[in-house]
Structure 1
């Protein structure tokens, strides 16, 4: 797969999905016009002309369409893993002087910008990665090509240059050694 791949829907894949040491599958994309129109409502007042999308997916230990305490516990673990990754990456991007935010997978709302419009992770993954979806009652469920519905999608967005974001992602590919007790 080429490093830059234009999808059928107008976005450019700058970094195809790849697995990070912390278990998140991460990719980097330019935002197609349809997504930018949606993001204008999700992040009001932000100049999104050069916005990049950073969709992530985590493999769940079970089908997340099911209900029950075990599924909710699994979702909490996956949420915490994403929040740690997203808050750290957004902090690095913001400290460099660029705008960045991530979506709360539970509510669909921005975590840092305070918007009130919900972002659909399933529709975003469908648009950016061409992943399939299925209907489960009134809900659309994402189907990962390898993991099926045992997937936890969550996204970040930023206005940093793509080479800067790619460098930050490359740095995260190297597992950090555990601290040595003194």
Structure 2
């Protein structure tokens, strides 16, 4: 069990929700999605955190488009999807599953970012493969899912070869992590996510 006392600025505790987003030709065009790729309903764990002071200088380097006067308002939203394969597995079926999880996260991120932008708030997601912003300009530093989830959620990591990977407290290495970010108020973020969940 994860110790609540060691978590950084948790505003919404980790919980699993089922999400469903409407079909979107704009999304399909943006991410070059064809009709054969799985879309629709998926489960995802998320939590919402205030930005820790130790992250602020790094966030400016990751997101140069982030308004400097809004840095203290930044919320970090780590997400996890349960997988049947391990993070360290390789192979055709494993890659297909990771591609589906990435597509789910992009669908989540696209809808969240689009909705928050509509209300005039900055928002973005990080590509789990590259560590770079998806919707805004890339900076000089990449985002580390492993380091940040370790600090924000106190999740354990395992060293595999030259890399550290996240161990989820319930799913072990069978997880797909990815993060979203916004300067919007917590209440608006929760409202948008609630409307997208079943």
The TM tier, using the shorter chain, reads: 0.7 to 0.9
1:25-174 pair list within 5 angstroms? 25-46=45-66, 47=68, 48-116=71-139, 117-173=141-197
Please report how far the alpha carbon of residue 29 of structure 1 lies from its aligned counterpart in structure 2 after TM superposition: 0.7
Alpha carbons 2:85, 2:94 under 8 Å: kept: yes
| Cα shift at 1:40 | 1.2
Q: Give the structure with the larger helix fraction.
A: 2
SS of the aligned residue for 1:16 comes to strand
Q: What are the ranges of 5 or more consecutive residues in structure 1 without an aligned counterpart?
A: 176-182
* Corresponding position of 1:8: 6
Q: TM-score if structure 1 supplies the norm length?
A: 0.87
- Indicate which of 15, 20, 26 corresponds to 2:17: 20
2:132 and 2:138 in contact (8 A); partners too = yes
Q: Secondary structure at the match of 1:101?
A: strand
Contact 1:7 1:13 in 2 (8 A): no
TM-superposed CA distance for 1:113, in Å, is 1.2
For 2:129 and 2:154, locate their aligned partners in 1 and report how far apart those are by CA, in whole Å: 22
The one-character-per-residue Cα deviations of 1:38-64 (angstroms, maximum 9, x if unpaired) are 211100242222100011000011112
Q: CA RMSD in A?
A: 1.6
Tell me which stretches of 4 or more aligned residues in structure 1 moved more than 4 Å: none
Bigger relative CO (Cα 8 Å, ≥ 6 apart) = 2
Checking the alignment, whether the CA contact within 8 Å between 1:15 and 1:166 is kept in structure 2 is: no
> Partners in 2 of 1:44 and 1:7 — Cα distance?
32
Structure-1 separation of matches of 2:81 and 2:10:
19
Which residue in the other structure is 1:179 paired with? none
Q: Give the drift of 1:101.
A: 0.3
Tell me the alpha carbon deviations over residues 119-149 of structure 1, each in whole angstroms, 9 at most, x when there is no partner.
Answer: 0111111111110001001101100000001
